[in-house]
Chain A
Amino acid sequence: MRAALFVTCVNDALYPRTGVAVVRLLERLGVTVDFPAAQSCCGQPQYNTGHRYETEPLLRRTARAFAGHAHVVTPSGSCAAMLREHYPRIGRKAAEEGRGGELADLAAELAPRVYELTEFLVDVLGVTDVGAYFPHTVTYHPSCHGLRALGLGERPRRLLAAVRGLDLVELPGAEECCGFGGTFALKNPDVSAAMGTDKADRAAATGAEVLCGADNSCLAHLDGLLRRTGSPLRTLHLAEILAATEDEGPPR
């Protein structure tokens, strides 16, 4: 099995540990990982802020970078949703506006090959026990795009539940948005922080040591709030927990 990693711009620049964890995890499961150099940002920040034209070159770039790869895996529900849900929309609109069908074709060709990490593990590789060891109390926040746009359902929790040593505690109000929302965090900082604070408080009240998620953007927002208040709760991407083993510990 081969898979191409779409690491996402946020992970590339700010959370390389997550990318490294995905590589270690997939290789441990017998997957050969490719990392196409031409990849970049998926264009979601631009698209969601209303700058659709600016996303078109990035759609073209992403689709071309991953052409010929049967499985494109990404550790971000939100970027997966961009490639799978919104690229076809952007392509369709470009065609409607008389700018040819190239983007639509590129999007249609790419979309069905895109997998969020937990989908790839559970649906394609057919594993829930990935052989991880992580002796900590963990609570899981399902980010909205993974939850609603992709319908990840129980996949992340099933993967976590199979980790040895891990004590999974339920997060009350788990399905409520953390308030990050991309540029929403900058355009509506007060509401964003209020939502995030409620989420962070509920996570802290579970008594967990680690707040886990599958989208580093949401985690960056929550982590920023937690650290500002000096909370001992730390945030960690799901991939890093799944990559952790008895011998190695979490990757760094």
Chain B
Amino acid sequence: MPAFPPFPEAARQAVGDGVLRANLRHATHTIRDKRARAVAELADWDRLRAAGKAVKDHTLRHLDHYLVQLEEAVTAAGGTVHWAVDADEANRIVTALVLATGEREVVKVKSMATQEIGLNEALAAAGIAAYETDLAELIVQLGHDRPSHILVPAIHRNRAEIRDIFRTEMGRWGRPAPEGLGDDPRELAEAARLHLREKFLRAKVAVSGANFMVAETGTLVVFESEGNGRMCLTLPETLISVVGIEKVVPTFRDLEVFLQTLPRSSTAERMNPYTTLWTGTTEGDGPAAFHLVLLDNGRTDTLADATGRQALRCIRCSACLNVCPVYERAGGHAYGSVHPGPIGAILSPQLRGTASAIDASLPYASTLCGACYEVCPVAIDIPEVLVHLRERIAQGGPVTRNGVRVRIRPARGHTAERAAMRAARLLLDHPGALSTATRLLARARRLRPRRLPGPGRAWTDTRELPELPAESFRAWWTRERGTPR
């Protein structure tokens, strides 16, 4: 994992990039308005939201049970289940499975889990080429770029940029872009279609994730818009699915709720164009070999935390990104994680821990405005978890790491802040001292500087300070009404 700069630093660059801000603004505002309309069509949205939350909470509470049930069902249906405790183990398993087929290339269905573990890089190191087939992922891959959004990984790119990437890069990976490619969306999509078709027809191995796994039947489910996933899930001979353990739901019927909430929350559609379900293997139909790699990678540790575990309810719809005013300005890359935006700010520091500078900065990458909580289809109280994680960073506290309960110390760099908070509290807890302080402040009002030193500079660099009043409210009350009771 490369070292990413802390959020405020990375965000500063993004805020200064006018093209990026315009791209993000346009894309997020369009989708958020459409989502609001799609959600408003359903009279029982609140109940669907509560139902989704309940299904996920129940499953998470009995995760051990449902995972064992899932393993049995997948095995009975002709699949093979592998358990991966972390990214390295998952990558080793997938690499070995691909090498065993004798193949040196795989086609990929868009998947957050394989990004989380850095599978493409691990496969490349073993001499295996992994081709992304989702249009936006293809743009990211061809552009030697990182995804910046859960659903629309290339949201930070505009049409002209995409055309340039296709023109220069497609030829190096396979079928080149057509002569004289323009930036019309239909032309771009057609170029991608031709480029990808060659890969689908050639590939013997596919790697996917899944949106859901059904414990009772061993069925995996992918929701998608383009149909590229379905090609990968049906044409190759071997299918390897890498899925986070939190994606399981108990029964087939539970999908009913998410079939309604996921597409509306993510693409603002009533129904996504393609929903593909696969259960083990079937003679003469689809892949002859099916492997499911169940990925933990920090999930059981997250589950051990009573407040933080609600992040595991996430169905990766990306609605929270699209409404987040911080994401809109900072862009997805500033989060230094495959999970950007509000959900990334609470998920990454739990899955990866808070030791790095980027992970310690993520819970502060929010104003706690609550817009993310309001749209979340599984009612994750993101602001609550943000504050909870800030506590862990600022004052330390208990966490579970690799199954062991430990107490972590406050993150580095928070010592000065802790001292300031303590000093402020001591002052605030002594109203006598407080009123003396405000009196002194009022007397010094003519000395008010235009720029403050230290952390206050962050305010005065862009904003004026408030005018200081001649007397505090307390002083006014005492003058007018006598000593307060």
Contacts and interface: CB of A to CB of B under 8 A. Distances in A.
Interface of A: 7, 9, 11-17, 19-20, 23, 34-41, 43, 45-55, 57-58, 61, 89, 144-145, 147-149, 175-177, 179-196, 220-221, 223-225, 227-228
A188 B473 contact: no
Contacts of B15: 190-191, 194
Given A40-B429, A43-B428, A191-B8, 10 more contacts: A14-B466, A36-B484, A51-B391, A51-B394, A53-B395, A54-B421, A54-B425, A187-B458, A188-B326, A225-B463
B104 to A, nearest CB: 44
B55 to A, nearest CB: 25
B459 A46 contact: no
Interface string B421-433: 1101100110100
B11 A220 contact: no
B370 interface: yes
B329 A12 contact: no
B477 A58 contact: no
B476 interface: yes
Contacts of B384: 89
A11 B477 CA distance: 13
A180 to B, nearest CB: 7
B387 A48 contact: yes
Please indicate which of the listed interface residues B15, B374, B428, B459 has the most CB atoms of chain A within 10 Å of its own CB: B428
B468 interface: yes
B476 A16 contact: yes
A34 B485 contact: yes
B455 interface: yes
Nearest to A65: B431
Contact of A50 (B369, B391, B431, B461): B391
Contacts of A50: 363, 387, 389-395
B391 A184 contact: no
A186 B485 contact: no
B144 interface: no
A145 B367 CA distance: 10
Nearest to B373: A148
A28 to B, nearest CB: 15
Q: Which 9 A-B pairs have the closest CB atoms?
A: A181-B367, A224-B463, A50-B390, A50-B394, A177-B369, A37-B484, A19-B473, A189-B458, A148-B370
Interface in B374-415: 374, 384, 387, 389-395
B326 A49 contact: no
A162 B431 CA distance: 38
Nearest to A10: B466
A181 B364 CA distance: 10
Contacts of B363: 50
Contacts of B466: 14-15, 220, 223-224
Contacts of B8: 187-191
Contacts of B459: 185-186, 189, 224
A225 B460 CA distance: 10
A187 B477 CA distance: 35
Q: Name, among B363, B370, B483, the residue most crowded by chain A CB atoms within 10 Å (CB to CB).
A: B370
B127 interface: no
A49 B390 contact: yes
Interface in B1-34: 7-8, 11-12, 15-16, 21
- Max chain A Cβ within 10 angstroms of own Cβ: one of B368, B370, B371, B387: B368
A54 B369 contact: no
Contacts of A46: 421, 424-425
Judged by DSSP, the binding face of A is helix
A52 B384 CA distance: 13
A194 B395 contact: no
A40 B431 contact: yes
Contacts of B369: 144, 148, 177, 181
Given A180-B367, A194-B329, A12 B473 contact: yes
Contacts of B441: 13
Nearest to A147: B370
A177 B329 CA distance: 12
Given A58-B428, A189-B461, A193-B462, A181 B421 contact: no
Given A54-B422, A148-B369, A48 B390 contact: yes
24 contacts: A7-B473, A13-B441, A15-B466, A16-B473, A35-B484, A37-B431, A37-B474, A40-B431, A41-B428, A46-B424, A48-B387, A50-B392, A50-B394, A51-B422, A54-B422, A182-B368, A185-B458, A192-B367, A193-B461, A193-B463, A194-B21, A194-B329, A195-B326, A195-B367
B194 interface: no
Given A16-B476, A46-B425, A57-B429, A188 B394 contact: no
A148 B323 CA distance: 14
A37 B364 contact: no
Interface in B428-485: 428-429, 431, 434, 438, 441, 455-456, 458-459, 461-466, 468-469, 471-477, 481, 483-485
A224 B448 CA distance: 14
Most buried by B among A12, A48, A193, A228: A12
A152 B390 CA distance: 27
A48 B393 CA distance: 12
A9 B329 CA distance: 31
A187 B395 contact: no
Contacts of A35: 477, 481, 484-485
B463 A228 contact: yes
A193 B387 CA distance: 22
Among A38, A145, A180, A224, max chain B CB count under 10 A is at A224
A182 B109 CA distance: 41
Contacts of B431: 37-40
A220 B464 CA distance: 9
A180 B369 CA distance: 9
B463 A12 contact: no
A61 B427 CA distance: 13
B330 interface: yes
Given A186-B455, A188-B365, A37 B485 contact: yes
